[in-house]
Structure 1
Amino acid sequence: MLTVRPGEEVIETLTKQAADQGITNGAIVSLIGAVDECAISNMLAEDAGTDIISEYQQPFELSGTGEIQNGKVHVHVVLGREGDTALTGHLHWARVETFFVHAYTLTLEDG
C-alpha cells in the first residue's frame, strides 16, 4: 500500500514511494481517499490525441485505478463533489490537505 498524507501531492508521492519500495512496474488496483484540489484531463471530441486539462480547487472524494510502467505512475480517477456529481479522467496532479489517499498495488516482475 502506498499512502499520500496531508500536505502531499498524489502523483509525486506515489512515484517516490513506488521507487522507494522498488516498484518499477505494477498495477494500482484500487485508489481511494479524498483530495482538496486537482487537475484531470479528457480527450477532445474531435481529436483523441489532444487532452483538455481542467483544474479544480474544491474537495473531492476520489477512487481510481492505474499502473506503474518503468517507474512512471499513470492514474485514472472518478471524483465525487458537492451536489452528488462526479467527474472522471486522467489525473495530472492532486493535493491532499484534509484526509488521505491510499493506493493498493500489485507488483509485476521486471523482464
Structure 2
Amino acid sequence: MPTYVVQVDKDQEVLRAVQEEVDKLGLGDAVITLIGAVNEAEISVMAKNDEGTDHLRRYAQPMELSGTGEVIQGKAHLHVTLAGEDITAAGHLHRAVVGGFFVRAYLTVTG
C-alpha cells in the first residue's frame, strides 16, 4: 500500500495541510503518523465525568509533536502528544501551527 509524505513548514497549519493533501490525492481511507514541532496548538480532551463534553485547550510555546490518526471517508482525524519546556499534553487536534521547524505527516493508504 502506498505511503505519501506531507511536509508542513513554517507558519502552516498542520490539520489544514494534511486535509488538503488528502483531498488532492482523493484518499478515502488511510492511517496517519505525525512527527515534528509546532509553536502553538489547540487540542481537546473529554470531561472526566462526561465523555460527550470536550474541553478545548490552547498552548502557545515551542512543543515537540507526535501523533497518529486516520482518514475515514476522506476526513482526517488526528490525536497528538505535545511536549514543551513546562507542559506535556495530549488529545484530539483542532489546530497546530508550525514555527521554526516542520511537521511531517505520513499517509498510508488502507483502502
TM-score (norm 1): 0.91
Counterpart selection for 2:54 from 51, 54, 69: 51
Equivalences for residues 55-94 of structure 1 within 5 A: 55-83=58-86, 85-94=87-96
On the 8 A contact 1:2/1:18 being kept in 2, the answer is no
Q: Give every structure 1 segment of 4 or more consecutive aligned residues whose post-TM-superposition deviation is greater than 6 Å.
A: none
CA contact (8 A) 2:80 2:90 kept: yes
Percent of residue pairs bearing the same amino acid type: 43
Match of 2:25 in 1: 21
**Aligned pair 1:41/2:65, yes or no?**
no
Distance 2:36 2:74 in 1: 22
Deviation at 1:24, TM superposition (A): 2.2
User: Following the alignment from structure 1 to structure 2, what is the Cα–Cα distance between the partners of residues 71 and 60?
Assistant: 28
Contact conserved, 2:8 with 2:98, CA < 8 A, in 1? yes
Q: When the two structures are aligned, how many residues end up with a matched partner?
A: 107
Equivalent residue number for residue 31 of structure 1 = 34
Matching residue's letter, 1:58: Q
Residues 62 and 99 in structure 2, CA contact (< 8 A), matched pair in contact too:
no
RMSD over aligned Cα, in angstroms? Answer: 1.1
Unmatched runs of 5 consecutive residues or more in structure 2: none
- Name the aligned partner's letter for residue 89 of structure 1: G
Give the gaps of 5 or more residues in structure 1: none
Shift of 1:64: 0.6
Corresponding residue of 1:103: 105
Q: TM-score, normalised by structure 2?
A: 0.91
Aligned-residue offset at 1:97: 2.2
